[in-house]
Amino acid sequence: MTLQSTPINRLDYTPPAFLIDRVDLTFELIESQTRVQSRLVLKRNPEAAPQLPLELAGEELTLESIKLDGAPLKADAYTVSAKGLIIAAMPDEAILEIVTLINPLTNTSLNGLYVSSGNFITQCEAEGFRKITYYLDRPDVMAKFTTTIIADKTRYPVLLSNGNRVDSGQMDKNRHWVKWVDPFKKPAYLFALVAGKLVMLADQHTTPSGRQVALEIFVEPGNLDKCHHAMAAIKKSMRWDEERFGLEYDLDSYMIVATSDFNMGAMENKGLNIFNTKYVLAKPETATDVDFDGIDAVVAHEYFHNWTGNRVTCRDWFQLSLKEGLTVYRDQEFSSDIGSRSVERINNVKALREMQFAEDAGPQAHSVRPEAYSEINNFYTMTIYEKGSEVVRMYATLLGKEGFRKGMDLYFKRHDGQAVTCDDFRAAMSDANGVDLTQFEEWYKQAGTPELAITSQYDATAKTYTLHIKQSCPATPGQAEKRPFHIPLALGLLDKHGKDLPLQLLGESNAQGTTRVLELTAASHRFSFVNIDEAPTPSLLRDFSAPVKLSYAYRDEELVFLMANDSDAFNRWEAANTFAKNLLLSLYASNDGQQLAPTSFINALRKVLSEKLDPSLIALMLDLPRENYLLEQIDSVNPAQLHLVHRSVKAQIARELRAELLATYNKLNDGSTYRYEDAGKRSLKNICLDYLAELDEPLVTELLSKQYRLSDNMTDRLAALKALVNRDGGEAQLADFAVQWHDDALVMDKWFALQSTSRRPGALSRVQALMDHPAFSIKNPNKVRALIMGFCLQNAPHFHAADGYGYAFAADRIIELDKINPQVAARLASSFNRWKKMEPQRRQMMQDELQRIAQQSDLSSDLAEIVNKALS
Ligand code: TRP
Ligand code: ZN
């Protein structure tokens, strides 16, 4: 398995030939030549075929020595390749001692052991451990790890690894050592090591069973004042998991290390999480409200992995969503409980639709449990994470909160300490509740976004209201025909006053609540509600009860009615969103750029502004659907044309609601000092400002520059600067901002992102010039995300410029990055995924650039997989 050739197929799984009971590692840390000694206690796996060779994965390693049961291994007893090391004849039990040399200094992939700002950091998920030593680098091989770290005392005063620190001492040549023991068996992808000059914020937590846990956040010197929000998030997460799922922490210390060079958000290594600084460092002067929420979510996510991922892990990487989908669901529930449930739901659904639906409709579409992959790093996707979370949420919707908890309890009771599959999770949910979830497996097997087409019929004589529901799912690569999914459809019916009607289905003796979850299992269904005195307005797919596309021919008046009355906050927002989406798409289709939005739309938004609702909900209802989301609904699309429509509607709203927007802005902009809890007010204030910025008036310029100058927090300052940068002018403030924040890397990321996503003419040449800015580095993923991905993925009008220069720029950067960091290059390449959606000229140019990338020699397996799928 480890040295298998690609693609790797899910159904080819075989158990490992050997198991590892213990692994003892010793690292002698030297930047350009680190020595790794590994001592493995191996035994043959009784569940594997006998006589199999031992195949250890290993990449970019220099083998210094290898001993079997104390004796050096003869050269003909093993073979070494670029993929690993194979020993053909192995005893049933053995001790293997391997010494390898690696070069962390030149490791720009940020995978394996690497140097970042002079500190040593590891990233082992998914297959990074094989860049540290030869190993059975697969998640179903779980071993107890001991790690000894030796390093220069002055340069690396802090030496960390998983588990408990058991011993330490001094050595010659100004060196010291620390020994760590992790009492829990774990797969190699959860291994971590950190060494460097770091300072620590300490706190503690006592679990319900009385365990005292030391909480420690390690950061570079000078950043301690930005760790308090993350520390509070750890404590909230621990308490929440104890209360909601009865799960408590299991080691004496829980450590987080923040690094500025990281491919993803964070990593759940046992007892020693490693985080991108973006998800740790924050104070009101440097971080926005969105950043603070992101810290809560990611801290919770990584902490929750300790049970969903670490104590119970994945049998193989096809099961990735077993831990990721479940852990995203858990962090979303956490965020819902500590904040506003409906706002959290709306934001998550927006992200799902903008990104996961696009993935599901394009060349990289794959199911939540994929069938094959070439490079596992390419499968840390919106589908595995976000759709995976929706799949978990549907269990909770079908089984209820208590039924879901019963399923979780059984899952842990059965599988603690094991490496398991998505089927095991589904079986626990099913067995704990005595329900048949056989058909539910389709959510794991089939890719693509299912579509629900619903029509309704009111019979005034019989007083019945009938819904006809058809489900279908478009073909995706390798899956032409789809079988029906098991879909929970939550809905309500509103009377003419906007009140929820009691819902009684034909054949039932009485009404059962006002929101019902209908279970769809066939291609078509018909449900009749009885005792309905007048034609109701349906509120369909409440709280977005399934990750599907819904089509129902709502009239505009019905949408306005739902916007004002639906008891389901998600569907109130959804009605506004649908109204705006329909409008923008029809204006785009009319294609003359002259048409205006109807008064009914403007009036609906005016009404929203006057509602007594949570201000963040009002802000969300006012926000127009993003261009990226609209692009997905149009075939042979011209993004420039769409951008014009989007802008002109925005400007029209600003003109016609000028007085209301200004009044709301002025009311909220009351000069009060910053309080974290006022985030909702800031979001409403700043969306008003964003609209007002469409008006070319001195008054607005004054508002913007005042807010930029006088704000005491980054949320407000950045909102003002963003609006300024989208207008003409703003150069002075941009320069001022860079002077003030030039040595704060995370704030400079915002500065780069503002410019890369700016719609003003000349965006590309500014992005190109900024690549030479001293604060930019193409080796740093956060910088690449801010400047390059910002442009390619979040600046549709400029990336898709008619001259094709945006595409050429993207392809050049993808080729350049592939030599530095293939994971990042592959992510950037996804900006070409939707080329077939474009109008013919852009389609051709995008295809040409994809082909140019494909023709490069020595493409990484990461990039090759993405580009080949995009082209096929
Ligand atoms: N398991 C991590 C998480 O979801 C994801 C992750 C962090 C990752 N770093 C990575 C995945 C590097 C692939 C490569 O929290
Ligand atoms: Zn995760």
DSSP string, 366-381: --SS-SEES-GGGG-S
**Residue 747 domain-assigned (yes or no):** yes
Q: Which residues line ligand 1 (CB under 6 A)?
A: 123, 125-126, 263-264, 266-268, 301-302, 324, 377, 380
Q: Answer yes or no: pTM beyond 0.75.
A: yes
What pLDDT shows up at residue 3? 75
Partners of 41 in beta bridges: 22, 95
Domain total in the chain: 2
**Residue 771 domain-assigned (yes or no):** yes
Is 302 labeled as catalytic in the residue annotation?
yes
- Pair 201, 216: CB distance under 8 Å: yes
**Residue 168 domain-assigned (yes or no):** yes
**Run means of pLDDT, 10 residues per run, the chain, 872 residues:** 80 98 98 99 97 97 98 98 97 98 98 97 98 98 98 98 98 98 98 98 98 98 98 99 98 98 98 98 98 99 99 98 99 98 98 98 98 98 99 98 99 99 99 98 98 98 98 98 99 98 98 98 98 98 99 98 98 98 96 84 98 97 97 97 96 98 98 97 98 97 97 98 91 97 98 97 97 98 98 98 98 98 98 98 98 98 98 96
Residue at which a domain ends, from 147, 166, 197: 197
Q: Report the SS3 class of residue 103.
A: coil
Closest alpha carbon to 306 in 373, 222, 245, 386: 245
Instruction: For residue 102, give the CATH number of its domain.
Output: 2.60.40.1730
Structural domain of 157: 16-197
Partners of 254 in beta bridges: 215
**Residue 848 domain-assigned (yes or no):** yes
Ligand 1 pocket mutation, candidates 109, 123, 186, 264, criterion most atoms within 8 A of CB: 264
The phi and psi torsions of 834 (rounded to 5 degrees) equal: -95, 30
Between β-strands 212-219 and 199-206, what pairing exists: parallel, antiparallel or unpaired?
antiparallel
CA distance 716 to 710: 9
CA distance 827 to 195: 29
* Closest ligand 1 atom number to CA of residue 110: 12
Give distance in angstroms: CA of 622 to centre of ligand 1.
34
Which strand (E) or helix (H) includes residue 238? helix 228-245
Partners of 782 in beta bridges: none
Give me the sign of the Cα torsion angle 337, 340, 341, 343. negative
- Residue 647 buriedness (CB in 10 A; 0-12 / 13-18 / 19+): middle
Q: How far is CA 640 from CA 130, 591, 630, in A?
A: 46, 12, 12
Q: Which amino acid is at 800?
A: H
CA distance 782 to 792: 15
Q: What b/e string do you get for 542-567 counting C-beta neighbours within 10 Å, with b at 16 or more?
A: bbbbbbbbbebebeeebbbbbbebbe
The phi and psi torsions of 67 (rounded to 5 degrees) equal: -130, 140
Ligand 1 pocket mutation, candidates 373, 380, 782, 785, criterion most atoms within 8 A of CB: 380
- Pair 336, 345: CB distance under 8 Å: yes
**Residue 155 domain-assigned (yes or no):** yes
Residue at which a domain ends, from 197, 217, 234: 197
* Closest ligand 1 atom number to CA of residue 385: 4
Q: Report the SS3 class of residue 28.
A: strand
Between β-strands 93-102 and 84-87, what pairing exists: parallel, antiparallel or unpaired?
unpaired
**Residue 22 domain-assigned (yes or no):** yes
Instruction: For residue 828, give the CATH number of its domain.
Output: 1.25.50.10
What pLDDT shows up at residue 251? 98
- Pair 42, 95: CB distance under 8 Å: yes
What pLDDT shows up at residue 593? 66
Residue at which a domain ends, from 197, 216, 241: 197
**Residue 845 domain-assigned (yes or no):** yes
**Residue 537 domain-assigned (yes or no):** no
What pLDDT shows up at residue 594? 76
- List the end-to-end C-alpha distance of the chain, in Å, as a whole number: 27
Q: What b/e string do you get for 82-108 counting C-beta neighbours within 10 Å, with b at 16 or more?
A: ebbbbbeebeeebebbbbbebbbeebb
What pLDDT shows up at residue 747? 98
Residue closest via CA to ligand 1's atom 5 equals: 267
Q: What is the dihedral of CA 647, 653, 654, 660, to 10 degrees?
A: -160
